[in-house]
Amino acid sequence: MSLAQRLDAVRARIARAAEAAGRAPSDVELVAVSKRHPLSSIRQAYAAGQRVFGENYVQEWVAKADALAEELPGLRWHFVGHLQRNKARPLVERGAWLETLDSPKLVRALARHVVDSPISVSIQVNVAREPQKSGVLPEALPELVDVVRGEPRLQLEGLMTVPPAQVDPHMARPHFAQLAELARVHGLPSLSMGMSADLELAIAEGATHVRVGTAIFGPRPA
Ligand SMILES: *Cc1c(COP(=O)(O)O)cnc(C)c1O
């Protein structure tokens, strides 16, 4: 299959899952996670109509974003990797949506660089309480929500999670349900959850953004 065909297949999966959940397919935005894939793959996805891309590593992403900015108008970036505070500036300057906000210190580091319109952020929640994973624990979420809502240079869009990698994708579903409940409690509209293996389950639990890499771009180069 070509990249355009794989992208079509992912769009069809999203549409079917949305319809099965009684939702409009247009309620679910596809974030094409292009980490470790070359510019040529991003160009192919763009040619097939994809506009929203996700990246994990600041250096790699900055190089790609700057290489493509003039060539591919209307590209939008979501940063889905862990962001160190000293890397806040390149992210703000390029207007990316940060999906992995996880500390008040990072809120302040980002806000310092915002000059005009606020930047979009989602808070990453470690719903499965994995010791080595980024994101706030559920009990720390209310405090961070307050901090972000008190900072007008950041627009709090919603929540994001990366559940534990499992052989059986159904194991992720309770974590998706928990993230959806936390978003509901805080009145947050955006829910970023679901990847190549489990996007249907995430959409069934209310995902508004699915982050899909492998199913579009194929296996990541080492
Ligand atoms: C790599 C990555 C994805 C995409 O995962 P696939 O299984 O390749 O679809 C989604 N979200 C995050 C945070 C990632 O790092």
Query: What's the pLDDT tens digit per position in 34-90?
Result: 999 999 999 999 999 999 999 999 999 999 999 999 999 999 999 999 999 999 999
Residues in the chain: 222
Which domains does the chain carry? Answer: 3-217 (3.20.20.10)
pLDDT value, residue 37: 98
Is the confidence at residue 139, as pLDDT, over 90?
A: yes
The 10 Å Cβ neighbour count of residue 170 is 9
Ligand 1 and 42: CB distance under 6 A: no
Ligand 1 and 162: CB distance under 6 A: yes
Tell me the CA–centroid distance for residue 160 and ligand 1, in Å: 12
Q: pLDDT tens digits, residue range 159-215? A: 999 999 888 999 999 999 999 999 999 999 999 999 999 999 999 999 999 999 999
Protein residue whose Cα sits closest to atom 10 of ligand 1? 211
Protein residue whose Cα sits closest to atom 13 of ligand 1? 80
pLDDT value, residue 197: 96
pLDDT value, residue 187: 98
The 10 Å Cβ neighbour count of residue 188 is 18
Ligand 1 and 80: CB distance under 6 A: yes
Tell me the CA–centroid distance for residue 67 and ligand 1, in Å: 22
**CA separation for the pair 214, 220 (Å, rounded):** 7
Distant-in-sequence, close-in-space partners of 219: CB < 8 Å, separation ≥ 6: none
Of the candidates 126, 212, 208, 211, which has an alpha carbon nearest to the alpha carbon of residue 164?
A: 126
Is the confidence at residue 152, as pLDDT, over 90?
A: yes
pLDDT value, residue 167: 85
Ligand 1 and 211: CB distance under 6 A: yes
Q: pLDDT tens digits, residue range 108-118? A: 999 999 998 99
C-beta separation of 62 from 54 below 8 A: no
Best residue among 100, 167, 211 to mutate for probing ligand 1, ranked by most atoms within 8 Å of CB: 211
Average pLDDT over residues 114-134: 96
Tell me the CA–centroid distance for residue 218 and ligand 1, in Å: 12
pLDDT value, residue 47: 98
pLDDT value, residue 166: 86
β-strand partners of 154: 119
- String of b and e for 5-15 (b: at least 16 CB within 10 Å)? ebbeebbebbe
